[in-house]
Amino acid sequence: MSSADASSSEPEPSPSWLPPRPPIVSGEDYIASLRGRGLRVFLLGERVAEPVDHPILRPSINAVARTYDLARERPELATAVVRETGQRVNRFLHVTESAADVVQQNKMQRRLGQLTGTCFQRCVGMDAINALYTTTWLIDQAHGTPYHGRLRAFVRAMQRQNLVVGGAMTDVKGDRGKAPHEQSDPDMFVRVVRREPGGVVIRGAKAHQTGCINSHWIVVMPTMRLGPRDRDHAIVCAVPVDHPGLTFVVGRQSCDTRALEGGAVDVGNARYGGQEALIILDDVFVPDELVFMDGEFEFAADLVERFTAYHRRSYVCKAGVGDVLIGAAALIADYNGVPQVSHVRDKLVEMAHLNETIYGAGIAASHESTATPAGNWQNDAMLANVCKHNVTRFPYELARLAQDLAGGLLATLPSEHDFADPEVGPLLKKYLRGRDGVSAEARARALRLIENMTMGRNAVGYLTESMHGAGSPQAQRIQIARQMQVEDKKALARALAGITDEVEGGA
């Protein structure tokens, strides 16, 4: 939302659960909005007084801030106009109104991947809003519930203030061989522990939640298909991140403490990073207005499948990050003086081929979107699962090729503090420079970026997240098997082979 849009729209009173505030316009506004919230955030065994100022957390905040600045720089890409109101809103808060809207989400995601080289943390919320838009409508049709209207009111409120909405789907699960109601500790899946006048109280934990500390609100969703005895686990609701019942424990990332050393080279990505945390929900009261499913267990699978279809094609963001890695690999080859060597060029071509294959499947899934009964648009689930299955493999090969082109110095490069040492620094600058005209520092920065993306902190967002985010490989294979239409394909083969009678003894 631009400042002009905010001032020209008709004022609408804030709901009781949302304190009034001016809309966030810029990345700077966004960073300011995170200050002074008093969150319970723990990192490296200590409570973090102010996450905005913590060197390990700040790069991930910068990455989210970039989404706001892109909306100002490229409104046609990173914002959308709501047909019903005429209001221009951030695309991460927009309910899709056409296949073109779904496609623009992917184009925005790739561009942000290029600009940040990491996870920018807003895709889960965007995909949750769109999946819930349809599922709440379907629940209302079946049960006469008020969920869809509540969700619409929530989304409008988020749009007016231009807030960051995160999503929380992955439960800690406990014994993976047991359903939620079979767990010895029922809190292994988030659940309603009691219902009170005006709302519900929930308890549990959500694991490795992307950008949750950097969000303003979290949408809690079930993680899997549920049965009648899992009714209390069939809860969808919105919770403010500064709720006193929430505790966040930040996950470790490889090389994360380099951010505490005061340097600029060894961190690799000089400005941006990702963030994952465990969210503990300790008897959190949620008012009815923010509950979008409560006990309708039979719709949990629908929600999960719709969300994962959206989110698996959202992994075209990895193509944007891949663009950065390809650029870094080409840069180090240039610095080493071998950009025209045939095998170097061939490896870069292979990297580009793999990267565009990721993007091609995701963007195709979006182009093939169709209208839902609720009025928003849902992407093609088969192609989305193919996209994500590619992502579980290709970034690892891209990383291998980048490391191949980087050479062994990727893993043996001395610290930037050694380069700054008056005794040994001049020797390092002499012996570790690249081709003529390329400084040792430039070469070191390119190597550290590749290390950061393939072995270090941002390898979490590029590699581990590629494997496990939005479901591990087997989850995509299950969906592909369900949707591959084998019988239809067999019919095509029969027709072309002229098979009219398969019974033994026939023609």
Cα–Cα distances in Å, from 412 out to 94, 406, 474?
46, 11, 36
Taking the C-alpha atoms of residue 217 and residue 86, their distance in angstroms, rounded to an integer, is 24
CB neighbour burial string for 218-243, b if at least 16 within 10 angstroms, e if fewer: bbbbbbbebeeebbbbbbbbbbbbeb
Q: Is residue 123 annotated as part of the catalytic site, yes or no?
A: yes
Catalytic residue among 67, 96, 210, 308: 210
Query: At 254, phi and psi to the nearest 5?
Result: -55, 135
Give the number of C-alpha atoms closer than 13 A to the C-alpha of residue 464, restricted to the C-beta side. Answer: 16
Taking the C-alpha atoms of residue 254 and residue 464, their distance in angstroms, rounded to an integer, is 11
Q: Is residue 68 annotated as part of the catalytic site, yes or no?
A: no
Q: Which residues are annotated as a binding site for FAD?
A: 210
Catalytic residue among 276, 289, 368, 416: 276
Taking the C-alpha atoms of residue 233 and residue 230, their distance in angstroms, rounded to an integer, is 5
Taking the C-alpha atoms of residue 479 and residue 366, their distance in angstroms, rounded to an integer, is 17
Element (H, E) at 335: helix 317-335
Looking at this protein, which amino acid is placed at residue 65? A
Helix (H, G, I), strand (E, B) or coil at 249: strand
Q: Is residue 465 annotated as part of the catalytic site, yes or no?
A: yes
Q: Pick from 151, 154, 126: which is nearest to 136 by CA? A: 151
What's the distance, CA 356 to chain centroid?
19
Element (H, E) at 365: helix 342-367
Residue given tokens 């620094």 in the structure block = 425
Task: Tell how strand 217-220 and strand 165-168 pair up.
Answer: parallel
Q: Is residue 210 annotated as part of the catalytic site, yes or no?
A: yes
Cβ proximity of 325 and 397 under 8 Å: no
Task: Tell how strand 79-81 and strand 88-90 pair up.
Answer: antiparallel
Catalytic residue among 94, 317, 392, 451: 317
Give the tokens for residue 372: 């839902």
CA angle 404, 407, 413 (to 5 degrees): 135
Tell me how long the chain is.
507
Q: Is residue 315 annotated as part of the catalytic site, yes or no?
A: yes
Residue given tokens 């009678």 in the structure block = 501
Q: Is residue 317 annotated as part of the catalytic site, yes or no?
A: yes
Q: Which residues are annotated as a binding site?
A: 210
Walk across the sheet containing 291-294 and list its strands.
165-168, 217-220, 235-240, 291-294
Element (H, E) at 477: helix 473-483
Catalytic residue among 311, 335, 372, 454: 311
Catalytic residue among 289, 296, 451, 465: 465
Catalytic residue among 30, 68, 96, 119: 119
Catalytic residue among 54, 94, 118, 123: 123
Which residues are part of the catalytic machinery?
A: 119, 123, 210, 276, 311, 315, 317, 465
